[in-house]
Amino acid sequence: MTAPDEYAAALDLLADGPLVVLTGAGLSTDSGIPDYRGPGRPPRAPMLYGEFVSGPAARQRYWARSHLGWGRMRHAEPNPGHRALAALDPGLLITQNVDGLHERAGQRSVVALHGRIAEVVCLECRAVSSRAVLHDRMTAANPGFTERHAAVAVNPDGDVELDDAEAVAGFVVPGCDECDGVLKPHVVFFGENVPADRVERCYDAVDGLAATGGTLLVAGSSLTVMSGLRFVRRAAKAGTPVVVVNRGATRGDDLATYKLDVGCSELLSDLAGRRGAAAVPGARPPR
């Protein structure tokens, strides 16, 4: 539990000065997308990049599950936390999420560290295309598949828990429209590196906080993976205040000026009110 005086002190710190915000899966739970490591969540092992490229059977298993998950995930809508952040308009918003909800809420300056699940890339010709188009192609190639597995649970990276080996074995995976090559979601899998230019842009924004008296705010990330934790470490090393908002412990708790065990939407909505942030005009509607 977070004490009221600690919550108030953290809000006071965040109420003035520049902000850089790092978000994780916990921010999207209020949109109906489960997180990876929240309280009560069972451990799971997502597919590694090396496994994905190991052969057709692995890709068939991945795409069968991902097809079901993204068919529902694509309809998720930004929640009050996303909208509050868009209104706050921090100097940079760094997200570990691939769901695209920050952009749909109207966020102006976003680095999607791990890419966006709404895009697909060909591993042969590198053409980037629409996930919605591929979804329609998969639906046509696998009639009745979605209806037969309507009850499966969705994971935060857009796949599902599907252990039906017979169903997966019959799943048809289309190739690239341009060259018939292997298609992969345009996201960073475990075992891949985040592109260096994205990392450097984030480092530059975090480094700028030390010179301007700003604060790094972490919302909804357990900081378990280094792709997010490194920015917290960078800020703390420079003496920049860090506020971590997350249900449950994080790897950055010992580096935080304040650690708040509260909901992201609650804190961010309160912060938007404190900073007098107005709603963002022109936020995109759900697809």
**Secondary structure (3-state) at 47:** coil
Please tell me the predicted confidence (pLDDT) of residue 175. Answer: 97
Q: What is 1-33+79-114+194-279's CATH number?
A: 3.40.50.1220
Q: Where are the domains of the chain?
A: 1-33+79-114+194-279, 40-75+117-187
Count CA atoms closer than 13 A to 128's CA, side-chain side: 7
The Cα 9–Cα 243 span in angstroms is 11
Alpha helices per DSSP H over the chain? 4-14, 49-52, 56-73, 80-88, 101-104, 131-141, 145-148, 165-169, 196-212, 226-237, 264-274
Architecture of domain 40-75+117-187: 2-Layer Sandwich (3.30)
**Secondary structure (3-state) at 79:** coil
Please tell me the predicted confidence (pLDDT) of residue 25. Answer: 93
- Measuring CA to CA, which residue among 35, 56, 52 is closest to residue 172? 56
Catalytic residues: 114
Please tell me the predicted confidence (pLDDT) of residue 33. Answer: 87
**Per-residue confidence of the chain (287 residues) as pLDDT tens digits?**
789 999 999 999 999 999 999 999 999 999 988 775 555 555 556 789 999 999 999 999 999 989 988 887 888 999 999 999 999 999 999 999 999 999 999 999 999 999 999 999 999 999 999 999 999 999 999 999 888 887 676 665 556 566 667 668 889 999 999 999 999 999 999 899 999 999 999 999 999 999 999 999 999 999 999 999 999 999 999 999 999 999 999 999 999 999 999 999 999 999 999 998 765 544 443 33
The Cα 89–Cα 83 span in angstroms is 10
The Cα 205–Cα 137 span in angstroms is 40
Please tell me the predicted confidence (pLDDT) of residue 156. Answer: 54
- Binding-site residue numbers for Zn(2+) are 122, 125, 176, 179
- Binding-site residue numbers are 122, 125, 176, 179
**Secondary structure (3-state) at 281:** coil
**Secondary structure (3-state) at 154:** strand
